[in-house]
Amino acid sequence: RCGRTQFARSRAPGEPANLSATYEGPYELALGWFFAMPRRMALLLADCAYANRFHERALHATREPFLRKEDDPLNGFWLYKCLREKGMPPVQPLPSMREPEAHNMACISSRGLYRRPSNASIAVHFLKTVSAMRYVAATLRAKRQPAIAVPPSRRCCSRMVWPSERAQHPLEACERLLSAEEMEAERAIDAAAERNRLGRTPRGHEA
C-alpha cells in the first residue's frame, strides 16, 4: 500500500498529480531512500523527541497541514528543531563550491545549478534510486574514456533518474551508455516493477 495513503495522495496547491509516486515507496533500496549523514547527526535525530512525535502524527495524518512530504524540507525542519531541543547551535553552511562541484541532478544541461554530473562534481542532489546511481556511474565512466564518444541522451537520463518518467522511455535509449551487465540489471528492475503493478508474485517466491 506504499504511496496509496491519503497523506501520500494529498496535494499542495499547484502540485502535479501523482507526484507521490516519486517520493513514497516501494523503494529499490532496502531501507528506502539512501541518506548519508554524519553519525553524530543520525544519533541526534534518532534521540529527538520532537522528530519522534512528528513521525507518530504523520503516520496517522490524512492531509498536509503545513509541510510538504518531500525529504529535503522535512529533514531540514527536523534538524533545526532537534538542534534547538538539545541546546545546540544551528548548522553552519559549507564554504561555497564552484558551479561544476555542487548541483542538482538534471537531464537538461551541462551548465548551471541543474546539470548532468561530471567528474568535477563533489555533491549531486536527487540521486534517489539504484538506477539514478547507476546512470551517474556510467556517465562518469564514459567521461573518463574520451575515445568512446557517448553523446548525452536526455531520454536515457530521464528514464534512469526520474521515477515518474521511467516508463515513458525505452531501455534502448541507454544502450550506448550502459554496459551489458547494467542493461540486464535495468531489465530486472523493469520486470519487478511490472510484477508489482500487476500484483503477481513469481512462482517459488511466495512469502
**What percent of the chain has a predicted confidence (pLDDT) above 70?**
71
The region of weakest confidence among 15-19, 28-32, 169-173 is 28-32
Q: Rounded to the nearest 5 degrees, what angle is found at the Cα of 93, between the Cα atoms of 90 and 96?
A: 170
Q: Decide if pLDDT at 174 tops 50.
A: yes
CA distances (Å), origin 106, targets 36, 67, 126, 181, 193: 20, 24, 8, 24, 23
Supply the pLDDT for residue 74: 74
For residues 170 and 176, is the Cβ–Cβ distance under 8 A?
A: no
DSSP codes joined into one string, 97-161? PPTTTEEEE-SS-SSSSEE---TT-SEEE---SHHHHHHHHHHHHHHT-TTS-----HHHHHHHH
Q: Which residues contact 64 (CB under 8 A, 6 or more apart)?
A: 7, 10, 12
The pLDDT tens digits of the residues spanning 60-78 come to: 766 655 455 556 677 788 8
Q: How confident is the model over 86-95, as a mean pLDDT?
A: 82
Which pTM value belongs to this model?
0.62
The pLDDT tens digits of the residues spanning 132-157 come to: 999 999 999 988 887 666 777 899 99
Q: Decide if pLDDT at 25 tops 60.
A: no
**What percent of the chain has a predicted confidence (pLDDT) above 90?**
25
The pLDDT tens digits of the residues spanning 1-16 come to: 444 555 555 666 666 6
Q: Report the mean per-residue pLDDT for the chain.
A: 78
Supply the pLDDT for residue 187: 95
Supply the pLDDT for residue 48: 94
